[in-house]
Amino acid sequence: MKKDITIVKVGSNTIVDEKGAVRTDIIRDIIVALQKIIRDGGRVVLVTSGAVRLGRISLGQSASAAVAASIGQIHLFDAYYQEAKKVKQELAQFLLTRPYIVTRKYFLNLQSTFDTLLDQGILPIVNENDALVAHTEWSFGDNDSLAAALAISLKAERLIILSHIDGLFDIDPDKNKNTKLIKVVRDVNAELLKYCSPKASAGGRGGMLSKLKAARLVTAVGIEAHIINGSVLGNLEKVLQSQEIGTTFLPRKSSGEISNRDRWLLAAKNSAGSIEIDSGAVTALKNGKSLLAVGVKNVNGQFNKKEIVEIVDKENRGVAFGIVDYSSAEINDMLRTNRVKDVQLMHTDNMIKIH
């Protein structure tokens, strides 16, 4: 029987220091920790940032993301390769773009290719192909989103995000030093999102907000998520051994087995926004009905038409995910002008119910 897959994502600030030098001790720590899992029959995928930052060290900070990534990617993969070679760990390299997830046939091919590599004890190292798609609609936006999409696509058991901070805090640590680490999160909701600055971290595009979006999406389909300080040697091995490190996001149980089509649906697009509905609408959704505008109480955040949006109840508990037929601006306009009668916002066929 095949073991479950673990997705590990490492940020730019974790593996590249302030002077632009690769932290080889951190990369060695990551490779050794993951190899132990692989040798025990485990299956691991590593998603790494850092190419753009390394490229700008060579070309200057004014270099575009696309140009910087084309240079930096060589140095980034070589840093992993050199450490993997020392311990005889075979690597595979992937540069992904959103069409490989969005287009159904590519999605199925991606699953098949990764499955073959993991069966052979090979460690895939994944980054977005910024040289071609940076700042375009083909981009995932950041590697936290890419890692979440892969976790869902590959039916992973857990997603571990290595950051340069210890986890999620009750107050933004950039604004207030009197903060407290949140060790366990049972539901990533709009209340938690306010604790985090949407500003990307220095040298990267993610920031805590993107990490919370990733955690919210994967936990909704039963995948455990962690945010830990990857700059501390040994932390990754500890969380892989189920020790209490950083912040753990507990998975929510889905209402049934998630089909491969639903995994594709969720991995293809996601939004930070959510739609709050009343108790009557909650009952209707659980009974297999579509979401109607008349049951909407509030719209949180912004999203476009045809994006994946979370539906929550009045307590901000997740009820479902699905493809919305209207943008947040259009729905807010309906609510403001009371034009909600019989308007369908999300069809039940495009919806995944969760507990």
pLDDT for 355: 58
CATH number assigned to the domain covering 271-353? 2.30.130.10
Q: Which residue has the higher pLDDT, 217 or 270?
A: 217
Percent of the chain with pLDDT over 70: 92
What average pLDDT is seen over the chain?
Answer: 88
Which residues, listed in sequence order, are joined to residue 185 by a DSSP beta bridge? 249
- pLDDT reading at 206 higher than 60: no
pLDDT above 70 for 155: yes
| Residue 108 neighbours by CB distance under 10 Å | 13
What would the two tokens of residue 322 be?
């699905």
pLDDT in tens, 56-65: 988 888 899 8
Task: For residues 174-196, give the mean pLDDT.
Answer: 74
Rounded to 10°, the helix 260-268/143-153 angle is 170
The residues of the chain that CATH labels 2.30.130.10 are: 271-353
Backbone φ and ψ of 42, nearest 5°: -75, 165
Q: Name residue 316's beta-bridge partners.
A: none
Q: Quick count: other Cβ atoms within 10 Å of Cβ 224? A: 19
CA distance 163 to 175: 18
Mean pLDDT computed over 61-89: 94
3-state secondary structure 183-221: CEECCCCHHHHCCCCCCCCCCCCCHHHHHHHHHHHHHHC
pLDDT digits (tens, 9 = 90+) for 85-139: 999 999 999 999 988 888 889 999 999 999 999 999 999 999 999 989 888 878 8
Measured distance CA(214)–CA(338) in Å, rounded: 33
**In the chain, which residues fall in CATH 3.40.1160.10?**
5-249
Fold of 5-249: Carbamate kinase (3.40.1160)
Residue 205: pLDDT over 70: no
**pTM for the model:** 0.82
